[in-house]
Structure 1
Amino acid sequence: MTRDRPTAGWLRHVATGGGRPIYLALVEALETAVREGELQPGDQLPPQRAVADQLGVDFTTVTRAYGAARARGLVEGAVGRGTFVRRRAVDDEAGLVDLSMNLPPPPQGVSLAALLKETTAAVLERTDVATLMAYHAGAGAPGQRAAGAAWLAPVLGEIGPERIVVCPGAQSALTAVLTTLAKPGDRIVVEPLTYPGIIALAERLGVKLVPCPVDDEGFLPEALERLCAEERPAAIYLVPTTRNPVATTMGLARRRAIAAIVGASDAWLIEDDPYSRLFDSPLPALAALAPEHTLHIATLSKTLTPGLRTAFLAAPPGPMAARVAEALHATALMGSPLTTAVAVRWIRDGLADRILAGVRLEARARRAIAAEVLPAARGDAESLHVWLDLPAGVDPAGLRALAAARGLALVTADAFAATPDAPGGLRISLGGPAKAAQLREALGNVAALLKPTAIV
């Protein structure tokens, strides 16, 4: 019965007296339940027919109420899928279209909600719940590590599962790696514009970031070779595919040159690779070219969904996987057994490839929109984000404030700067808006914002 559904309790707040339209009473009860946290983002509402039967009202009254709730931005849904409390990012709570957070877009032709329900039920049916929900130490169960090796095979080739460490997200993996490889005062070579997570970690760990000159493919080999000789860095960090934030990819010849330099130095290479699986034919990872010296991190957050909080780390042959697993246990203890089990089952059953194919289709469609609306933007055809150079003298804070006034959340180059003289620019993420039409409108607003008369 509807009254027994966990998300039907808010119906008790519907005031049907006083001469007020019942559909408005329904909307206000729903709004109150969302505001007070009784209903959470993603909660599924009862079917309209069931609500009408419980309240003793016409079906059309409930239909009108659900429509009004959708117009107010309280709920979302689709025919055949149901009605859900709308999911909102932090910036969306302030009424902004978020172009700052790099998310995979909703996959075409795939319902993540349906797959998650089915897979979770299957996991719970075949697994002892007490074992599943207990503490799990180490680098991951053998089956989980084997699934990670299979997922990474398109970029790493065939590697043994003993080299895989299962991690609760890329940031946890990066934390474990840095605490394993570097001590306070050590140096890490990075690009002048780099992932904000490495900047924050370096500051907390007392590690110094050393920027290396780059071109459109990344590190200049001669500059990196010189820094390795002069600075004696503990590690070199890079995102070679769809470089974050500048959205270009390091070619194969450059990868081989960097691998050779790393092989001749005492530095470890940290390869952060969230995007390669978005390519139909990805280039070989640096970990495939310099396996003895590279720690490769690949999150599922950009290729499938961030909510899984699962990443796979491929360590060099030997004891490094165990060392990283010990650091991971010290800093994050473990990942979520349930979401890891879902990720592993998706990989084993081929569902991960289905989701990935849907994400690829939508990502390319959105990148095409960006190419049309912002032709000056740089980025691979498969990229989840694009990069725009900004004119000299543009104040990043002022630009973000102007964007917020127009309903946009943007992130500028200062968030990625490892050095005060890093170039200015704007990273625009394409996966955040729920629909392609919303993205097109938002990018049109960015184009208008960047006209010389708008930013003077």
Structure 2
Amino acid sequence: MYGNRPMSATKGSPNPAAAWLRRIEALDGPAYRRLATALEQAVAEGELQAGDQIPAQREVARRVGIDFTTVTRAYALARERGLIEGTAGRGTFIRARTHEDEAGLVDLSMNLPPPPAGLNLAALLRETTGAILARTDPATLMAYHPGAGSLAQRTAGAAWLAPNLGEVDPARVIVASGAQTALSALLDHLTRPGEVILAEAFAYPGLLATAARRGLSVAACPMDAEGLEPEALARLIAQHRPRLLCCTPTFQNPTAATMGLARREAVVAIARAVGVTIIEDDAYGLLPAAPLPALAALWPEGVLHVATTAKTLSPGLRVAYIVAPPGAAEGAAGALHAIAQMPAPLMAAVVTSWIRDGVATRILEGVREEVVARRALAAELLPAAVGGTESLHVWLPGATATPAARDRGLALVGAEAFRAPGAVGEGLRVSLGAAAKRATLGRALTALSTLVSRPNAPTTAHPRESGDPS
């Protein structure tokens, strides 16, 4: 019916996804506005949540007793209000509310993969979890599982990492509940309080925090455009006799530096010559379409490789893999078990299914496609930024954020979050994936280009002259 005349939402069989339609009977105004307002109320009160699928427009028209054009107009208004999103053939879903919606902020600080181009993650997740629950006893999923992961999960992990590592025995693979958990377990397993570890002068904050809690001293290794400087690395190893070397060879966090093959071989040769074990945090190693060999592929006996799905598929998939040297998996798995016991079985099952069915590769390709487009946008709007064409973040060397950046709604993170003890230098890491839409990112980068200051500061990271790692 039309205008202010009542509409019935009771036609058809009960459907939880359509229950919000009952709200229209208590509203006034044109039919299309009542539909949009009913949907908005259902979202605001939690009846509908991000990712929920709502009925198709023709079904709503049938249930409510109005024409299809009116429903189309209502859905268009709901889309304008940021309530729904959808594509032909996949349906219409409640849109996730982001910081951009709630606080006017554009997050350039969180390094998240963007939504994969051409794919609906919510629909894929719904389909996969449904299939897993249909074929698996839920009691089995909810029980305790082996800490290192099942053979199927470890085999899938080996297959997933093959582009970087080549063929890997699944017995060397350990399934973990996230890369941070994996790094924490490895530091607990391999070091004692008071020992020295080497890290990049600008390093992953999670590593620095874990080392501090463990009572470790971090020696900061100078960096250039390819990451660790080999001569400085050899000198620091001779000076400190470190227990471990921790580094990120591809799209280093935060500088976005990537070691070329010759640099990787040089770093491995230096560490191997003196027997220094390497922890390779390879969070971004699968983002390049033509990935370089991982350090663990060059020296399997001396490198512990850590890779996560959080940066290549989705941050909600808290699944990571440790690839240990031959014969060393049991000890690393025991340390991991003491911290986290096991990864969430349902998430591990989803990732395993996606790898085996090729869905993970499709998602990775979709993420890569969107990352490339966003990186090209950053190259246009922030020409001073450095980082590869497939990098999830870029680095503005020497830049600092002005107070006006926050006032303009830009969430940023600077060099102070990444400096290893004794390191100097300024810079901003600009993350490209967290903004919900490419257009939003473009507006944020345009604003950022006018707000950052670039004082005279080192464009690469170096420790202070004293070389004191404490």
Q: Say whether the fold is shared (TM-score over 0.5).
A: yes
Question: What pairs up with 1:96-115 in 2 under 5 angstroms?
Answer: 96-115=105-124
Contact 1:49-1:59 at 8 Å conserved across structures:
yes
* Whole-angstrom CA distance in 2 between matches of 1:99 and 1:4: 43
Partner of 2:171: 162
1:40 aligns with 2:42: no
Contact 1:2-1:50 at 8 Å conserved across structures:
no
Aligned match of 1:215 in 204, 224, 227?
224
1:51 aligns with 2:60: yes
Bigger drift between 348-357 and 287-296 goes to 348-357
Distance 1:23 1:241, change over 3 A: same
* Whole-angstrom CA distance in 2 between matches of 1:233 and 1:226: 11
SS in 2 for 1:419: coil
Distance 1:11 1:206, change over 3 A: farther
Aligned match of 1:31 in 3, 22, 40?
40
* Whole-angstrom CA distance in 2 between matches of 1:328 and 1:5: 44
TM-score, normalisation: structure 2: 0.87
Contact 2:149-2:342 at 8 Å conserved across structures:
no
- Alignment length (residue pairs): 445
1:151 deviation in Å? 1.3
1:334 aligns with 2:342: yes
Contact 1:5-1:46 at 8 Å conserved across structures:
no
SS in 2 for 1:347: helix
Distance 1:355 1:222, change over 3 A: same
1:93 aligns with 2:102: yes
Contact 2:255-2:394 at 8 Å conserved across structures:
yes
1:135 deviation in Å? 1.2
1:364 aligns with 2:372: yes
Contact 1:107-1:362 at 8 Å conserved across structures:
yes
Distance 1:50 1:199, change over 3 A: same
* Whole-angstrom CA distance in 2 between matches of 1:422 and 1:68: 51
1:390 aligns with 2:398: yes
Aligned match of 2:160 in 146, 151, 156?
151
Partner of 2:191: 182
1:290 deviation in Å? 1.8
Aligned match of 1:378 in 379, 383, 386?
386
SS in 2 for 1:426: strand
Contact 2:220-2:423 at 8 Å conserved across structures:
no
Contact 2:395-2:427 at 8 Å conserved across structures:
yes
Partner of 1:322: 330
1:237 deviation in Å? 0.8
Name structure 2 gaps, 5 residues minimum: 1-10, 455-470
1:218-263 superposed Cα distances (whole Å, 9 cap, x missing partner): 2222222222233232211111111111112011122112112221
Partner of 2:416: 414
Distance 1:437 1:129, change over 3 A: same
* Whole-angstrom CA distance in 1 between matches of 2:86 and 2:141: 32
Contact 1:91-1:409 at 8 Å conserved across structures:
no
1:82 aligns with 2:91: yes
Partner of 2:464: none
Contact 1:11-1:26 at 8 Å conserved across structures:
yes
Bigger drift between 19-28 and 330-339 goes to 19-28
Aligned match of 1:10 in 20, 29, 35?
20
Bigger drift between 417-426 and 28-37 goes to 28-37
Distance 1:200 1:6, change over 3 A: farther
Distance 1:238 1:13, change over 3 A: same
Partner of 1:234: 243
Partner of 1:439: 441
1:425-448 superposed Cα distances (whole Å, 9 cap, x missing partner): 111112222332222222212112
Distance 1:114 1:39, change over 3 A: closer
Name structure 1 gaps, 5 residues minimum: none
